[in-house]
Amino acid sequence: MKPPVCVICSRRFSPQEEGGVVNFAKRKGDIEWEKKDIVEHPPYADWFCGRHFSYAENLSGLTINKAMEKIIERFASDYKQFEDADSY
């Protein structure tokens, strides 16, 4: 599991105090990944700090690719990760 660092602003935070992991709708590849029974951070989930969590959680019915496009568009000035949405 990845540490609690917001995928949008790269800020470390305490999930006991704010934010959390959002699990998005699974893509075909995500379902295949789960069948491998791998113990690591799921490819359909990511960490969001308190500022970005609610918006991301509201998009959890979308795949991570589609949700991240909307989240990055909404919080463009906060987005500091890799400046590369192609990773989603």
| CA dist., res. 24 & res. 62, Å (int) | 6
Dig out the tokens for 9 from the structure. 């602003």
| CA dist., res. 69 & res. 49, Å (int) | 17
User: How high is the pLDDT of residue 81?
Assistant: 55
> Quick one: average pLDDT of 55-81?
93
Please check the confidence at residue 73 and state whether its pLDDT lies above 80. yes
| CA dist., res. 35 & res. 62, Å (int) | 21
Please check the confidence at residue 85 and state whether its pLDDT lies above 50. no
State the pTM of this model. Answer: 0.85
